[in-house]
A = this chain, B = another copy of it.
Amino acid sequence: MSGTTRSPTLADVAAAAGVSLSTASLAFSGNKPVSESTRARVLDAASSLGYTGPNPLARNLRQGRSGVVGIAVGRLSTAFRDPAALPMLDAVSEVLESAGVGLLLMADGDEQSRLPLDAVIYDNCGRETWAPYDDLVARDVPMVVVEGPAWPGTTFVDVDHRGGSAALAEHLHDLGHRRVALLTLEASHPQREREAGIRDVFPDANTIGACPSDHEAAQAIVAGYLDTGPDVTAVVCQSDVQAAAVVIEARRRGLRVPEDLSVAGFDGVATPWLDLELTTVVQPIADKGRATAEAALARVDGEDVADVLLPVRLRVGESTGPARED
């Protein structure tokens, strides 16, 4: 009638193996040498007691780390709807994993302040403020911010939005385009930089409007715009998902792409449901993810980490062509 037997601890294992607690610990962690015979005796004792290894909670307390890094991405379902988000997450996860560190999703609006995080990645482009920021700073939790805002005390990983957008704009200009319209994202660091790049070349481009990188939203806003019969030869979008939506909506109205309308995107992700390759600015998404995760790990180790700026590359596809002549 004994109740549930308490699960064995390292002390039990040490006793069973006839060694001290510290030796048993070393046998598992390998932090200092232990003779082969002793290690074997400890491991045998462990398996016969059903001991499954040192309790991570205890180790965490002792070492002052949780082995978990948080990542904030805004509302999950919308953040991951954009295919550009996934390779990023994949790369972050892979780097952390190989360091034995877990990745915790921080949903928007969740303070999570009761969870022990060794560092936090903020990858929610499209928002300017974040409630937990002050708290994290107060608790000295290292933060890595991807694509802004460049909050004080954080490490900043960014891509060359402005340069890429300027290169794209020059490409359009070379094709003879003079009247272009912009479909933008919500106000944010990347959006501002990219728009500045476009306006380096087309200072008075029209703005169609702003929407998230989401097919339905982009299609709706572009439909309204095309209804007005605008006098432009090209539409520059801020994501490939937006651009694909624009292509589809333009075609529904009998506009040929690129003969009647050139369309450009940003990101460089696959849009397999479209039968043409978009002209776009290709981000090194996986590099961005790796750099982010490595920065987070380095800051957990107390290292100073420099900000990162990654290059982008113009990819000329089939969605842009010579400006139509009126």
Contacts and interface: CB of A to CB of B under 8 A. Distances in A.
Given A52-B135, A97-B107, A219-B272, A77 B61 contact: no
Contact of A58 (B61, B94, B270, B275): B61
Nearest to A112: B102
A157 B115 CA distance: 27
A252 interface: yes
A90 B105 contact: no
A46 to B, nearest CB: 11
A66 interface: yes
Contacts of A65: 57
Report how many copies the assembly holds: 2
Interface string A88-129: 011001100100101111110110111110000000000000
A80 interface: yes
A322 interface: no
Interface residues of A, number: 60
B80 A107 contact: no
Given A60-B57, A104-B104, A116-B57, A77 B68 contact: no
A270 B217 CA distance: 13
A270 B77 CA distance: 13
A77 B89 contact: yes
A67 B107 contact: no
A40 interface: no
Contact of A272 (B70, B76, B83, B216): B216
A309 interface: no
Contacts of A67: 114-115
Contacts of A50: 138
A56 B116 contact: yes
21 contacts: A7-B140, A56-B66, A56-B114, A56-B115, A57-B57, A57-B60, A57-B61, A57-B65, A61-B61, A67-B114, A68-B115, A76-B89, A76-B90, A77-B86, A80-B86, A90-B107, A94-B107, A97-B107, A102-B105, A215-B273, A245-B273
The 4 A-B residue pairs whose C-beta atoms are closest, nearest first, are: A56-B116, A77-B86, A77-B90, A215-B272
